């Protein structure tokens, strides 16, 4: 027998899923789902999507159904360029690249920048999808903790300085400044500026992942990290997955003309272009004003759910449990005092009734974060949010040492 | 200024586009388009697509618009598994992976198998998109000429043998057995069997690209290379781009359970899953019988166009020009006697009136194939096919030495 496994990419093969994976509750039938970061499915604008698809096809089917440019539809890129003004960024449609979801945006950046052994940093914790993308590309990934303002800038500088003297200096920092996944917290404006200064000083690039920016429940939109960048060192990505629908797999990147062009080449060589039908739907959805309307509606729904989850936590959790209080986004982050429970036991205890994302998914070091959990407050009904938190609290109390 | 270019992937940066690229006629306004391999745009079933999208959304919008499994919709994988019987292949839906176009299928295989310096072979000439995918992944790509039956099996064995004694043995052969792009020719059954025997003997994998299999104008469907494989060494890919629409970006892979699982991991880490809306449309298109109906209709249209192009070549081309006579697919391959013309001059002479794909796009060696051209007979109207061939013939005669 031929051993094909020995031919497989060693970085992929050596990637170990989080310790909790074999135990995780991905949603038993009937279980309350606080795990995945998914919009409220009742509100998907499916009728509108069907209508926009039909209208777009009627007007423009020859373009939509054929091959096209890797960079994406010019009108959609123009809309995104204009929309970027909300982030205090002035860019040209030529600096926008459409791609098949934010995960692909990261993958394209990884493919362009990270050779095996190259160094990058991410926050600790950081988005589980990013942990998997960057680890399976064979790069050396370092996680750096956050303080109240965002990624710890002193530790980041120490690391950047240390790598300067090595063969492979730091190349990339992956940062999620708004409504962080999994934390729900937001990076301060001061820290955003410091990040750009550090990138200039140590010559690394920043990948700013802004997937949740439209979901603001309190406070106001802050200028993006990219808005402080004058040297073309920040690559920004955001997505239609949350303000429209994840199933369309559509996101975008904005960057310097040089980097956008290089990423477009990577995209073109990898899979040609993002789905045209998805682009056509997103274009009509944005241009006709449906997107901002939908966001406004959803933010009322989600703010209420977020407040409800916070109240439930307040009501049911014991005193050795703490959590973040997000002013936007989809998640909050729950920490159980170290040593109080066994994270795997908690999953097993509760998974028939409620699913959540175990904290170790957001760390590279095996088993780290098992006393933490990410809860999503957008997907479930209000009733189930309260019930789910209550079941979790009971499980924690039952298992606590 | 930070020099970001020095951070970019060296394989991408060192990839040189074909010599003809800066001159190529990609279709001047009003020019006849015999260049790209695109279905006849007049026949895109756009109304049907809009209807299927609406019906699918109405029935199943929560699944279609949300996140899903990287491998793709189970019902669509089941349909593909059943459809694979046409290729004399018996597989399970678990051995099917949906992905964003055939180019992505190649990219996923490249990501799983080809580390920088790894060895692979492809036919000479071979599909330009594959040339670009495999070259930009940093692999060592060797092109092997074809004889009447397909890839030259003696030369392939010589190369496989030679690599056996090197640090990096041959890992992959990329083969297009049916209605080859750009040649239009078909690999014999005998050669298909020999390929599998060689793969077993020298322990390499075969990527069988079968993008044009449904477009049969004469003769019958042959068993796929995969049908002779008993050891799980053949990875097969085909696409909805031609029988449905390229703009949906949807293709599939079938392989051994082991390879399918590994490719699914690569796909999931890279961009999560193929567009759900595209999958839902394709599912209804296939299950309700529209696909086979559409293919039957198009094959009549395309056969007529193919015959027309062959007659026009016969009528207008001088005696030092030869061409292939395909029995299916989208292309034929025209060769002008070596030394008769300057390929770049021919592009410049004709590009205001007609576009074609210059032959050097299909070779790795710079400038090779400039006396050859790929013509697509599916896209243009019958009138323009004749006119286009006539203009090309006049250009060739004018420039001939």
CB contact under 8 A, A205 and B12: no
The shortest C-alpha distance from A8 to chain B (Å) reads: 5
Angle, helices B128-136 vs B102-113, to 10°: value is 30
Distance (Å) from the C-alpha of residue A101 to the closest C-alpha of chain B? 6
B1 with A231: Cβ contact below 8 A: yes
Q: Which residues of B touch A103 (CB under 8 A)?
A: 269-272
Task: Check B136 against A104: CB less than 8 A apart.
Answer: no
Q: What is the mean pLDDT of chain B?
A: 96
How is residue B86 annotated by DSSP? G
B54/chain A closest Cα distance in angstroms: 5
Asked if B272 lies within 8 A of A249 by C-beta distance, the reply is: yes
Nearest to B182 by CA among B386, B374, B323: B374
pLDDT of residue B348: 96
| Domain limits, CATH 3.40.640.10, in chain A | 59-289
Nearest to B67 by CA among A55, A330, A98, A284: A330
Rounded CA-CA distance B224/B216 in Å is 14
Q: Which long-range contacts (CB under 8 A, 24 or more apart) does B304-311 make?
A: B304/B382, B305/B40, B305/B377, B305/B378, B305/B380, B305/B382, B305/B385, B306/B217, B306/B332, B306/B377, B308/B377, B308/B382, B308/B385, B308/B386, B309/B375, B309/B377, B309/B385, B309/B386, B309/B389
Q: Which residue has the tokens 């590994």?
A: B262
CATH topology of domain A4-45+293-399: 3.90.1150
Q: Quote the minimal CA–CA distance from B17 to chain A in Å.
A: 11
- Give me the CATH code for the B26-44+295-399 domain, please: 3.90.1150.10
Contact residues, chain A, for B10 at CB < 8 Å: 115
Measured at the alpha carbon of residue A197, what is the angle toward residues A196 and A199, in degrees to the nearest 5? 60
Nearest chain A residue (CA) to B66: A247
Contact A190, A231 (CB under 8 A): no
Say what the pTM is.
0.97
Q: A373 — phi, psi (to 5°)?
A: -150, 145
Cβ <8 Å between B231 and A258: no
Question: Least CB-CB distance to A8: which of B41, B44, B113?
Answer: B113
CATH class held by domain B46-290: alpha beta
In this predicted structure, the answer to whether residue A29 has a pLDDT above a threshold of 90 is no
**Cα(B168)–Cα(A152) distance, integer angstroms:** 43
Contact B49 A65 (CB under 8 A): yes
A241: chain B residues, CB-CB within 8 Å = 67
What pLDDT, on a 0 to 100 scale, did the predictor assign at position B375?
98
| Nearest-by-CA chain B residue for A136 | B269
Q: Where in chain A is the domain with CATH 3.90.1150.10?
A: 4-45+293-399
Q: Is B155 exposed, middle or buried (0-12, 13-18, 19+ CB in 10 A)?
A: middle
- Give the pLDDT confidence of A281-302 residue by residue, as tens digits: 999 999 999 999 999 999 999 9
Mean pLDDT (whole number) for A62-75:
97
Put simply, the answer to whether B66 touches A247 (Cβ < 8 Å) is: yes
d(CA B161, CA B143): 15
**Closest CB to A4 among B53, B67, B232:** B232
Residues of chain A in contact with residue B104, where contact means CB-CB under 8 angstroms, are: 270-272
Residue range B291-338, pLDDT digits in tens: 999 999 999 999 999 999 999 999 999 999 999 999 999 999 999 999
Of B44, B133, B281, the CB nearest to A62: B44
A104 Cβ contact partners less than 8 Å away, ≥ 6 residues apart:
A249, A251, B270, B271, B272
CB-based contact B67 A38, cutoff 8 Å: yes
Contact between chains at B271 and A104 (C-beta distance less than 8 A): yes
Which residues of B fall within a CB distance of 8 Å from A10?
Answer: 115
Contacts of B233 in chain A (CB under 8 A): 2, 4
Q: Is A77 helix (H, G, I), strand (E, B) or coil?
A: helix
What is the count of residue pairs from A and B with beta carbons less than 8 Å apart? 226
pLDDT tens-place values along chain B, 401 residues long: 789 999 999 888 888 889 999 898 777 889 999 999 999 999 999 999 999 999 999 999 999 999 999 999 999 999 999 999 999 999 999 999 999 999 999 999 999 999 888 999 999 999 999 999 999 888 999 999 999 999 999 999 999 999 998 999 999 999 999 999 999 999 999 999 999 999 999 999 999 999 999 999 999 999 999 999 999 999 999 999 999 999 999 999 999 999 999 999 999 999 999 999 999 999 999 999 999 999 999 999 999 999 999 999 999 999 999 999 999 999 999 999 999 999 999 999 999 999 999 999 999 999 899 999 999 999 999 999 999 999 999 999 999 99
With an 8 Å Cβ cutoff, are B274 and A248 in contact?
A: no
**Partner-chain contact B271 A248, CB within 8 Å:** no
CATH of domain A59-289: 3.40.640.10
Which of B1, B5, B7 should we substitute to test contact with A (largest number of A Cβ atoms within 10 Å)? B7
Subunit contact B9:A272, Cβ cutoff 8 A: no
- Which residues make up the CATH 3.90.1150.10 domain(s) of chain B? 26-44+295-399
| pLDDT above 90 coverage of chain A, percent | 92
Segment A180-212, tens digit of pLDDT: 999 999 999 999 999 999 999 999 999 999 999
Min distance A398 CA to chain B CA atoms (Å): 33
């Amino acid at each position: 027998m031929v051993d094909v496994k020995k031919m497989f990419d060693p970085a992929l093969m050596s990637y170990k899923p989080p310790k909790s994976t074999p135990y995780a509750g991905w949603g038993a039938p009937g279980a309350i789902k606080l795990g995945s970061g998914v919009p409220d499915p009742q509100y998907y604008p499916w009728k509108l999507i069907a209508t926009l698809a039909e209208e777009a096809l009627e007007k423009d089917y020859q373009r939509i159904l054929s091959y096209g440019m890797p960079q994406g539809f010019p009108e959609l890129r123009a809309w995104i360029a204009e929309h970027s003004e909300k982030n205090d960024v002035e860019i040209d449609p030529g600096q926008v690249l459409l791609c098949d979801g934010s995960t692909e945006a990261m993958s394209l950046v990884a493919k362009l920048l990270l050779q095996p052994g190259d160094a990058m940093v991410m926050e600790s914790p950081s988005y589980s999808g990013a942990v998997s993308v960057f680890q399976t590309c064979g790069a050396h990934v370092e996680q750096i903790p956050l303080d109240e303002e965002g990624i710890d800038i002193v530790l980041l500088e120490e690391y950047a300085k240390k790598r300067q003297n090595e063969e492979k200096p730091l190349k990339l920092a992956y940062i999620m400044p708004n409504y962080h996944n999994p934390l729900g917290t937001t990076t301060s404006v001061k820290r955003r500026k410091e990040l750009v200064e550090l990138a200039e000083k140590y010559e690394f690039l920043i990948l700013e992942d802004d997937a949740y920016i439209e979901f603001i429940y309190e406070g106001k939109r802050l200028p993006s990290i990219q808005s402080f960048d004058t040297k073309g060192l920040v690559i920004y990505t955001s997505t239609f997955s949350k303000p429209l629908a994840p199933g369309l797999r559509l996101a975008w990147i904005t960057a310097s003309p040089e980097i956008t062009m290089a990423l477009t080449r990577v995209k073109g060589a990898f899979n040609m272009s993002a789905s045209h039908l998805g682009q056509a739907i997103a274009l009509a959805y944005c241009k006709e004003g449906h997107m901002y309307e939908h966001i406004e509606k959803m933010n009322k729904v989600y703010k209420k759910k977020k407040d409800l989850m916070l109240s439930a936590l307040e009501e049911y959790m014991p005193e050795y449990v703490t959590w973040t209080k997000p002013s936007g986004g989809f998640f909050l982050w729950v920490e159980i005092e170290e040593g109080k429970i066994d994270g795997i036991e908690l999953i097993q205890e509760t998974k028939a009734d409620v699913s959540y994302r175990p904290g170790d998914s957001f760390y590279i070091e095996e088993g780290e974060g098992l006393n933490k959990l990410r809860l999503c407050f957008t997907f479930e009904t209000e009733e189930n949010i309260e019930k789910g938190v209550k079941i979790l609290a009971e499980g924690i109390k039952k298992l606590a040492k």
